[in-house]
Amino acid sequence: MDDRANYKAAKELLAKAKRVLVSGHLSPDGDSLGSMIAMARMLRAAGYDAYATADVHALGKPGFLEGVADIIPVRRLKRRKFDLFVYVDCAAPNRLPPEVRPFAEKLPTLTIDHHATSIPAGAASIIDPTASSAGEIVWRFAKWMEWPLDRAIAEALWVAIITDSGRFAYDSTSTGTMRAACDLLKHGVRTAWINDTLYCSFKTKSMELKRRAWRSLHIWKNRKVAEVTLTRNDFREVRGTKADAEDVIEIPRQVARNEIALFFYQIPDRTHETRVSIRTREPHDATLLAARFGGGGHLRAAGCTVKGGMAIAKRQVRKAVKEMLSGKMKPAEEPPKEKGAAPKEKEVEPKEKEVAAPKERDVVAPKEKEAVQNAT
């Protein structure tokens, strides 16, 4: 199905609806939040009773966007009724907030996404893995629908695009991305202010999480692999959320000659699992590594969740990374299982800051040591 057919199917679906709920993935980043805010505002301007929903306590840096005040907190959705559900920047329904998933199951659904691992679902889908961001796809659809933009919508889409394209630096940036950006600028986007807010101003707890991540930096495989770690205790002690550590993955990625960067973290919830953010450089496919553990994402940026504590997760992911570096990795249908590992393996969480085996650790160059010391 080509773009026009997808757009037509989406338009027909919208024509049958009046009350629309828009959501993004768990712990929304700039692309997810910006796309859902823009979509909800454009739908309201077009005459729909439309609202975005998210955990308002986990919006992070993009939480300054105009339109955040209109978001319905996920905990208040039970009393609301809708006849159409739209989710953006989310590869699968299981990546939606738990409170939102029932709407995806019961209502006609429109999916707008750009993940390489995204599978068409619902009554209509607009999916383009070559797009820089979900925001770019939302902009295209808005132009096709001839929906007018205002500054608030343009700024929401601007944040969506620049955060997922690395401020137009990643491989996913295309001429189409730049056309979208040029059009958004016509509506008065405050580029300098947005840049300062997103990239030049950080809360104390965010800085503290980065300091702890720097202290956990572990480099191995002749600098090809670098990883950082934040435990539940780290988040609890600084009273931070994943949104406060959104760019921590850039720490291991900055290591010279790095090919695979990993960020292991555990958010303070009741689940016994460890999440992993993955960034790669050529020739490695981040989605291949993430898919081994049931995750997904993009060619150079992906993520997954490993059942088990930090030590189990690191052991499994490191094994998979070694396979990838050796060129032996193949897509796995199921996450690897530890031989003889019991689900309730004992681990001492507070000591997870340094679990790297001494034999694997490479000697870090003096300049890198100085950089780490200065950062901490």
What are the tens digits of pLDDT across the range 224-250? Answer: 999 999 999 999 999 988 888 988 999
Q: Alpha helices, DSSP H only, in 239-294?
A: 250-253, 286-291
Q: What percentage of the chain reaches a pLDDT higher than 90?
A: 74
- DSSP-derived 3-state class of residue 222: coil
Can you give the pTM of this predicted structure? 0.80
pLDDT, position 122: 81
pLDDT, position 58: 84
Reported as a pLDDT band with limits 50, 70 and 90, residue 336 is very low
Q: Are 280 and 260 in contact (CB under 8 A)?
A: yes
Cβ-based neighbour number of residue 171 at 10 Å:
12
Q: In what order do the strands lie in the sheet with 72-73?
A: 72-73, 49-54, 19-23, 84-88, 109-113, 124-127
Residue 191, phi then psi, degrees to nearest 5: -60, -45
Q: Residue 166 belongs to what H/E stretch?
A: none
Largest CA distance in the chain: 64
Cβ-based neighbour number of residue 11 at 10 Å:
14
User: Per DSSP, what are the bridge partners of residue 229?
Assistant: 264
Cβ-based neighbour number of residue 169 at 10 Å:
9
d(CA 365, CA 314): 24
pLDDT, position 67: 94
* pLDDT tens-place string over residues 157-213: 999 999 999 999 999 999 999 999 999 999 999 999 999 999 999 999 999 999 999
| Across 166-175, 261-270, 344-353, least confident range | 344-353
The better pLDDT of the pair 219, 375 is held by: 219
Q: Are 312 and 338 in contact (CB under 8 A)?
A: yes
Q: Does 342 have pLDDT greater than 90?
A: no
Q: Are 84 and 21 in contact (CB under 8 A)?
A: yes
User: Per DSSP, what are the bridge partners of residue 23?
Assistant: 53, 87
Q: Does 362 have pLDDT greater than 90?
A: no
d(CA 287, CA 132): 16
Q: Are 40 and 22 in contact (CB under 8 A)?
A: yes
Q: What is the DSSP letter of 213?
A: H
pLDDT, position 2: 64
Q: What's CA 45's distance to the chain center, in Å?
A: 28
Q: Alpha helices, DSSP H only, in 239-275?
A: 250-253
Q: Are 121 and 86 in contact (CB under 8 A)?
A: no
Q: Which residues fall within 8 angstroms of residue 251, CB to CB, at 6 or more apart?
A: 210, 213, 214, 217, 226, 228, 263
